[in-house]
Every structure is written in C-alpha cells, then in structure tokens.
Amino acid sequence: MIWNEYHECMERDQLAELQGERLRQMVERVYFNVPFYRNKLQEMGIEPGDIRTVDELQNLPFTTKQDLRDNYPFGLFAVPQQDVVRLHASSGTTGKSTVVGYTHNDIMMWSEVVARSLTMAGITKSDIVQVAYGYGLFTGGLGVHYGAEKVGASVIPISGGNTRKQLQLLEDFGSTAIACTPSYAAYLGEALIEEKIDRSRLKLRAGIFGAEPWTEEMRAQIEKSLGIKAYDIYGLSEVIGPGVSMECGCQNGMHVFEDHFIPEIINPETGAVLPYGELGELVFTTVTKEAMPLIRYRTRDLTRLHADRCDCGRTLVRMEKCVGRSDDMLIIRGVNVFPSQVESVLLEMSETRPHYLLVVSRENNLDTLEIQVEVEDQFFSDEVKELEGLRKRIGANLASTLGLHATVRLVEPGTIERSMGKAQRVIDNRKLK
C-alpha cells in the first residue's frame, strides 16, 4: 500500500521540476530571512533567482553541524519565533546540542512523511502501534507518534525504557507494531525469553527501527526473537527527524521522500557530487521546511543512492543502509574502523551475542583496540582451550575484516551495559588525555 501515490510514484522528470520550483522558493526564503545564509550566498555571488533547477543545487554552499552549533540556539530559523510551534534538540554528546524548530506546517509535513513510512511497513488504522522511542527533546518518539496518528492507528506513547511494562503492554494491548531503536528491539527480544513470555501470546508483526546504525545480521536476529518483520527507518533531527527515508516491503534500500528532502552523495574530502551507486557522504537539502530550512546539510552518514525503479512502484530514490557515521568512525593506527564491522563479524560467528564494546586506548604512543564480547550461555565451554579457541577465532575474523589487530576479551553475559536508547558501542580513552 502507498500512502501518497501522487508524490511517491511521480515520474522522475516531473519530480525534478517540482524539486526545482521548491528549491527556488526555499533559497529565496533563506536569503531574505536567515543572515547566515544571506552572507554565505553573497560571498559566493549568488542572488535569489539564480537557482532555478535542481541541477543547480550543487552550486550552493554546504551546511555543517558546526554551523548549527555556531548559530545556537535559533540563529538559523527562517521564521519569527511566534510561528515556531515545536523545538527539539539533539543529545549533544559531542559538544553543544543542536536545536531544531518546526512551524505548524512543518509538523504537518513531518506527520505526512512518517505516515508514508508506516504505510510502507503495512501499518493501517487497524494497527496498534507501540512507540518505544524516547519522547522529549529527541525527535524519535513524537515524530513516529504524529505519523501513526495521521495513519489512524491506535498509538501507545509508552516512550523508551521500562522493559517490563513494554512486554506487558505488548501482551495485554496486543500491539501489532513497535517503533524503537534496533538495539532496544534486540534487548526486548532477550527480555521476552528471560520473562518466559510465549511468542504466540503476542500479536506483534512489524517493527520500525532506526536512529542508529544496524546490520542485516542484527535484523535477522530481531526478526527471529520477536517473530516480526523488521523495517529500517532513517532520519535525523536536523532534516526533520524519523521519516526522511524508509524501507518498503521490498526491503531493497530506504526510499527518500525527495519531494521534501533532496539527497546528494558527495566525496567527503573534496565535496564533489558523486553519481548514483557510488559510496560517499549523504547530504540533504530541505525544500519545504519553513522554520529551519537547510541547504546541503552534511549528515556525516556514508551510503549510496540508487535511482532505478523499485518493485513496489515508488519512483523515489533508495538509499542503502549507512555504512557508518563518520562521527562513529574510529581511526586506529591509521585504519578506519566502524563499530558496525565488528558487529557483523560477531553475528556471523553466531557463537556470541551482539553485545560488544570497543575500547580504544593509547599505550606508549600506540593505539590499542580491545573488543569486549559477552560469552553466550549455550556456547560456554568449561575447557580453557575451547574458550581460548573462541577468542582466537573472533580475533582472527576481526583482523581480516578490520585489517587491524584487536585484543579480544571475553566477558560475562550481561556485563556490557544495555542501552534503552542509542547503544554505546565505543569507549575511546584517547580523548581523555
């Protein structure tokens, strides 16, 4: 089923025309309303009206997270404060948090793209949707909430955490869909077993998971433990929140809602635009957002775009699962390491749970990487040589995938902290000096 067939299945030349027109209006709005953008455009000798087609997008300057921080809190808003009806902010784990604002129309547009997303997962007004994303400054909870209400589903705004309650409502209310981070979904799957809740007592059939990188192996594991189909949703608060792109039933990449967000892939070093199919940094231009429109916002997410038509009938481009965020990327002894690579290795071996932690340190001016892995119960052997063998196999597989030697440390089950929101996968002790 398709929520908005007109916009989701538009011929691509017709879509480009719509994007061009919306881009022109957006550039005009920021030029007259946001001093930051006016200065940038003037420096580059661009006047409103110079940008008329979507092909001219690449002449415009980039916006970075640092620009958002420099203009903290409301410096990039393009409307007066009385038109702003909602404020969200990022968690700000690295430096000052970034603030985003929404007008009434922005909230409507956000609900629309989330409604399209949920429809891709087969959710209709007959569904009961348990929203286990955090509600609050984080966009996850309220974003999915409004979209689910727009679809007409019954929404349970339980927010994140409180696992016992989550399980109780899944069972008692008969929730048919759940939205949360994939790491929390994996945790719920484990909790289901621990609490000895029989899967057949649940009506859950779909999960909408996003807000952090996850792997296909993790998807398979969640689908098995919760007995559902797991869908990937993508978004970031700077662009709108969840609902920037979403996987359809074909699960062949996430369709970007291009009538609102124009995606580009660039070479992260040179800034040059790369053709479809090439790996690079994902960049978004929001063409309909009123409160805080962004021109060519650099997401730091690394992925590829594909424009060939999907079997579902949608013409919207599909983005692959992100290889990682360049923020997440660790450079250890000059080698780029993504936590998602470690996860893939561990899950392929199936002898270990996806509970792991990367600890990076520096000893005698040399970076060291330790990977802590929980030993799963049924694979625990009481012979030292078996456990040492497991440790060596993990080490060897990691070395061949990462191109880097890592020390593997086996730890007891449950010792690595479980997250209720985004999983903490890395401790970088090098920064503490």
Partner 1 sequence: MIIKQLSVFLENRAGRLTELTGILADNGINISAFCIADTADFGILRVITGKPELAEQVLKEQGFAVKITDVIGMIVPHKPGGLHKALQILTDNGISIEYMYAFASADDRATVVIRTDAMPKTIDVLQMHKLELVTAGDVYQM
* Residue number with CB closer to partner 1 (92 or 414): 414
* Residue number with CB closer to partner 1 (142 or 346): 346
Binding mask 323-362 for partner 1 (x = CB under 8 A): ----------------------------------------
Q: Do 122 and 129 meet the contact criterion of CB atoms below 8 Å apart?
A: no
Residues 6+ apart with CB under 8 A from 216: 321
The strand ranges marked E within 54-212 are 84-89, 99-103, 128-131, 154-156, 177-180, 206-209
Tokens 């997410």 sit at which residue? Answer: 301
Using CB under 8 A as the binding rule, whether residue 418 contacts partner 1 is answered as no
Cβ at position 354, least distance to partner 1 in Å? 16
* Residue number with CB closer to partner 1 (286 or 352): 352
* Residue number with CB closer to partner 1 (131 or 375): 375
Q: Do 130 and 175 meet the contact criterion of CB atoms below 8 Å apart?
A: yes
- Longest Cα–Cα distance in the chain: 74
Cβ neighbours around 185 below 10 Å, total: 25
* Residue number with CB closer to partner 1 (108 or 193): 193
Examine residue 263 and say whether the peptide bond preceding it is cis (omega within 30 degrees of 0): no
Give the Å distances, CA to CA, from 12 to 15, 54, 60, 129, 288. Answer: 5, 12, 22, 33, 18
Using CB under 8 A as the binding rule, whether residue 414 contacts partner 1 is answered as yes
The only residue of 18, 89, 250, 410 in contact with partner 1, by rule CB under 8 A = 410
Q: Do 406 and 395 meet the contact criterion of CB atoms below 8 Å apart?
A: yes
Tokens 């859950």 sit at which residue? Answer: 204
Stretch that binds partner 1, among 195-203, 264-272, 369-377, 425-433 (CB under 8 A): 369-377
* Residue number with CB closer to partner 1 (70 or 388): 388
* Residue number with CB closer to partner 1 (137 or 411): 411
Q: Do 159 and 131 meet the contact criterion of CB atoms below 8 Å apart?
A: yes
Cβ at position 190, least distance to partner 1 in Å? 12
Of residues 374-403, those binding partner 1 (CB under 8 A): 375-377, 380-384, 387-388
* Residue number with CB closer to partner 1 (70 or 194): 194
Cβ at position 383, least distance to partner 1 in Å? 6
Of residues 134-173, those binding partner 1 (CB under 8 A): none
Indicate left, alpha or beta for 429 from its phi (over 0: left) and psi (-120 to 50: alpha). Answer: alpha
Stretch that binds partner 1, among 126-134, 245-253, 321-329, 412-420 (CB under 8 A): 412-420
Cβ at position 406, least distance to partner 1 in Å? 14
- Find the Cα–Cα–Cα–Cα dihedral 123, 124, 128, 131, rounded to 10°: 50
Cβ at position 162, least distance to partner 1 in Å? 20
Cβ at position 425, least distance to partner 1 in Å? 19
* Residue number with CB closer to partner 1 (320 or 376): 376
**DSSP 8-state class, residue 414:** T
Cβ neighbours around 384 below 10 Å, total: 8
> What are the start-end ranges of the H helices in 173-284?
182-194, 216-226
Using CB under 8 A as the binding rule, whether residue 36 contacts partner 1 is answered as no
The only residue of 162, 199, 409, 429 in contact with partner 1, by rule CB under 8 A = 409
Q: Which residues bind partner 1 (CB under 8 A)?
A: 375-377, 380-384, 387-388, 409-415
